[in-house]
Structure 1
Amino acid sequence: MVTGIIAEYNPFHKGHEYHLSQAKINTNANSIVCVMSGNFMQRGIPAIIDKWKRTEMALKSGIDLVIELPLVYSLSSAEHFAFGAVSLLNSLNIIDNLYFGSEEGNIKILKNIAEVLVKEPDNYKIMLKNYLNLGLPFHLCRANALRDFFNSNHILECISNSNNILGIEYIKSLILLNSKIKPLTLKREGSKYNDKSLNNTFSSATSIRNYLKNKNLGDLKSFLPKESYDILYNLSKENYPFIFEENMFQYIKYKLLTDGKSIDNIPDISEGLDNKILKEVVTSTSLNDLILNSKSKRYTYTRLNRILTQFFLGLEKYNLLKLSKEPCPYCRILGFNSKGKNLLKNIKRNGDINLITKIPRNNISECLEIDLIGTKGYSILNHKLNPMQDYLTSPIIL
């Protein structure tokens, strides 16, 4: 059995360690393949450490093969993030199961919701239309229609939790791709994903990043697996900079003040949001200020973070919406162990996708071009990274 995991590992923590151990047990997995975000995360933030260091964490913690989720998906909505990752796993033609964490923990409920959203039964469409006619935001209309369709208030709670939302999107993508991969879920324990305080059970990645930003790394020893802690500790000794979203602000502000109108080309921008951002940036002294002053019921904090990060990277020059709706066009190998080496042989025999271990110098697709831009942008924030690092770094082999 080969099981797929979709993750960011920003950084790899004890909750991830538990998820990985349960994936091996509950799916009878001989091998684990992880699709991992590169240098920018789905919430619109840069990774605290670069993708190769996070790959090393994953491999030392028990992942057999790490492949990169292209930036066009990793810096996108839950729907497109999920579709990119699932289409990548599906195209390998070796994955038996997809194992993900969720607040719900009941795969049947998540599958039922996903099937309704994909197939849209007539009753559901009528309910959705009735709510849309009231002028409510789409996500509220959809939530209310699902509640009414299932006649269950629990559905509202279910689809308000971030990991449930991603899980539903994973299952939707499996259905749309007519995939043979079986979805399975593990009930999430410990902190919520955005909790800022450390938890004795499983601390969230958010709380660990928050701690790294404000306090001494040494106190994190009991909240991280030894492999992760050792890598972070060694990096700190080398004066490696831990990267946070605020590191982008001065560049975003300069670009907005000098070329602000081009933000209108980011797909998520509409309804005068560009004008609101351009007005607020003049008096904002931090990225947090700018987002808080620009956000609304329609434009959440995370959505604005993604928009501004896409703008920081110069992605307004690309048709992100079109690219993110297409199946992942290649499989970029970040690292593997001996089991992963055998998996790669099977992918070469059975897969429907181009494997990339070395970046070509020409004939690069738009999707891969965006990945290279992502590393260049990240290198502005992280002086330890060469802007051309994608060309310089081979897959990590353990």
Structure 2
Amino acid sequence: MTRRVAGIVAEYNPFHSGHAYHLAEARRVTDAAAVVVVLSSHFVQRGEPACLDPQTRTAMALEGGADLVVELPVPFCCHNAGVFAGAAIDILAATGVVTDVVFGMEDREAPIETIASILLDEPAPFKEALARNLRTGLSFVESRSRAIDALLPGAGGVLSRPNNSLAVAYVRQIFKARYPLEARPICRLGPGYHDRTRGRIMSATALREALKEGDRSALNEAMPEYAFGRISASLASDRCLADDETLWRTMRILFLREGSTRLASMAEMSEGIERAFVREARSGRTWRQFVDSLTSKRYPRGRIQRQAIHCLLGLDQETNRALQRSGPLFSRVLGANGTGRDLLREMGDRATIPFVSRGSEIPEGAAQTIERLRHVAGEIWEGLLPVAAQRDPFEPPLMI
């Protein structure tokens, strides 16, 4: 029987009891000998800085049951679901050892393979409906949802739930690249992604809200003891981004200094939205107020936030498109235990991209652009802390 190695795509922003359940279930349902996690870098998919640095989130993952943690480079982790999921699956496949991809869903029995096939093949009726919907001013995500619902009733509802949507994106990439990976959905535990109910099992949204409010008891209840210890230490040493006040001040200065002409060259900017960025930067008093003022049917909150982060990182349209064509050309090793180190040795012969621990191991060319953005992201993240630039954001991998 082939040895199974489970792969997980995660942000752990921050790590909570639902994540610990996911790691345990991934090992159980696949009978895996090891678990590999692809972890977002300093900025996350929804278009915000992570609340904790990658090293701390890596430690939580290893303590929670992961054996090897590798990085999803910043140009891909702070992006739409298709780019985010596609790059993460590329990395898991590139290890040469991962056999199964395990992901949570709100609707475990949803026909995600059928939905993924339609999105990949784009039959004529789907493309026509998509174009019609876009002409009405709807966002791409909503237009796509309505178009696929016309072909497969109920599919739009499936895609409207965040974890379902990511699940479809994972499967679509597996189909597109014809990877020998088995998709293993598991039922997501607890309240919905945006639910703010507090308790033993909380959404990451509710957990971040409790963090911002300083509700330590809620954090303690919803996080495993080791994770709560890590976040408590980060809070005590001012190494936690619990609010967005500094982010907003930084963004506002950036938008006003650059102006609409220069912002127009940044990744995903289109249709004159850059002028609205400058206009609202003049009047906005908070980050939330700024994002709320720009959110619409055409431009959902996540897209606005990601566009803003691209501006902050200096990720321009040309570079963004080139990196999407190339995909992740390498991945940083963030941490491993003994089993993970054995995997790394095996990957030395089987991996199709470099999995590096030092900058000197990174290939020349476009990979250096990815590394440059990683350095920019790390230094900006450190600068947003209450006490800025406390330590080197590029520590060696955590080996336990």
Query: What is the root-mean-square deviation in Å for CA atoms of aligned residues?
Result: 2.0
Per the alignment, residue 120 of structure 1 pairs with 122
Whether contact under 8 Å (2:71, 2:331) holds in the other structure is yes
Aligned to 1:189: 189
Q: Is the 8 A contact 1:3 1:96 kept in 2?
A: yes
Aligned to 1:396: 398
Partner of 1:8: 11
Q: Deviations over 1:244-293 (max 9, x none)?
A: 33431111111111112321112321112111111111111111111111
The answer on whether the counterparts of 2:102 and 2:183 sit within 8 Å (CA) in structure 1 is: yes
* SS of residue in 1 equivalent to 2:102: strand
Query: Secondary structure of 2:79's partner?
Result: coil
CA gap 1:208/1:255 in 2 versus in 1, 3 angstroms: same
Match of 1:379 in 2: 382
The alignment partner of 1:193 has SS state of coil
Aligned to 1:67: 70
- Indicate yes or no: 2:56 matched with 1:53: yes
Higher mean C-alpha displacement, 254-263 vs 65-74: 254-263
CA distance in 2, matches of 1:21, 1:59: 12
Alignment of 1:154-193 (within 5 A): 154-193=154-193
**Secondary structure at the counterpart of residue 319 of structure 1:** helix
Match of 1:36, SS state, is strand
How is 1:17-28 mapped onto 2 (pairs within 5 angstroms)? Answer: 17-28=20-31
Comparing 187-196 with 30-39, greater Cα deviation is found at: 187-196
> Does the Cα contact within 8 Å between 2:45 and 2:84 map onto a contact in 1?
yes
Residues paired across the two proteins, number: 392
**Is contact 1:190-1:199 (8 Å) kept?**
no
Deviates further, 313-322 or 57-66: 313-322
Partners of 2:247 and 2:131 lie apart in 1 by 41
Question: Structure 1 residue 78: deviation in Å?
Answer: 0.5
Change (3 A) 1:48 1:147: same
For 2:138 and 2:336, locate their aligned partners in 1 and report how far apart those are by CA, in whole Å: 48
Report the alpha carbon displacement of residue 22 of structure 1 after superposing the two structures with TM.
Answer: 0.8
**1: CA distance between counterparts of 2:99 and 2:251?**
42
Q: Which amino acid aligns with 1:95?
A: V
Match of 2:331, SS?
strand
Q: Are residue 80 (structure 1) and residue 83 (structure 2) matched? A: yes
Q: Is the 8 A contact 1:280 1:293 kept in 2?
A: yes
- Distance (whole Å) between structure 2 residues aligned to residue 134 and residue 222 of structure 1: 46
CA contact (8 A) 2:198 2:218 kept: no
Q: Are the equivalent residues in 1 in contact too, given 2:264–2:272 (CA < 8 A)?
A: no
Alignment of 1:97-176 (within 5 A): 97-106=100-109, 109-129=111-131, 131=133, 137-150=139-152, 152=153, 154-176=154-176
Structure 1 pair 213/14, CA: closer, same or farther in 2 (3 Å)? same
| Contact 2:140–2:298 (8 Å) recurs in 1 | no
Residues 109-129 of structure 1, C-alpha deviations (whole Å, 9 max, x = no match): 011100111122344345445
Map Cα deviations across residues 72-103 of structure 1 (whole Å, 9 max, x no partner): 00011100001110111111111100000111
Please state how far the C-alpha of 1:134 moved relative to its aligned partner: 6.0
Q: Distance in 2 between matches of 1:105 and 1:339?
A: 30
Aligned with 1:360: secondary structure? Answer: helix
Equivalent residue letter for 2:335: G
Query: What's the counterpart of residue 204 of structure 1?
Result: 203
Distance in 1 (alpha carbons) for counterparts of 2:382 and 2:242:
10
Q: TM-score, normalised on structure 1?
A: 0.93
Unaligned runs of 5+ in 1: none
SS of match in other structure, 1:297: coil
The amino acid of 1:41's aligned partner reads V
Letter in 1 for 2:246: N
The aligned residue for residue 237 of structure 1 is: 236
Are the counterparts in 2 of residues 98 and 183 from structure 1 also a CA contact under 8 Å? yes
| Kept in 1: contact 2:241–2:384 (CA 8 A) | no
d(CA) in 1 for partners of 2:397, 2:197? 35
Partner SS for 1:35: strand
Give the 3 Å change call, closer, same or farther, for CA 118–283 of structure 1 in structure 2.
Answer: same
CA distance in 2 between partners of 1:313 and 1:132 (Å): 29
1:46 and 1:245 in contact (8 A); partners too: no
Tell me if structure 1 keeps the 8 A contact 2:139–2:300.
Answer: no
- The aligned counterpart of 1:315 is 315
Provide the secondary structure at the position in 2 that maps to 1:32: strand
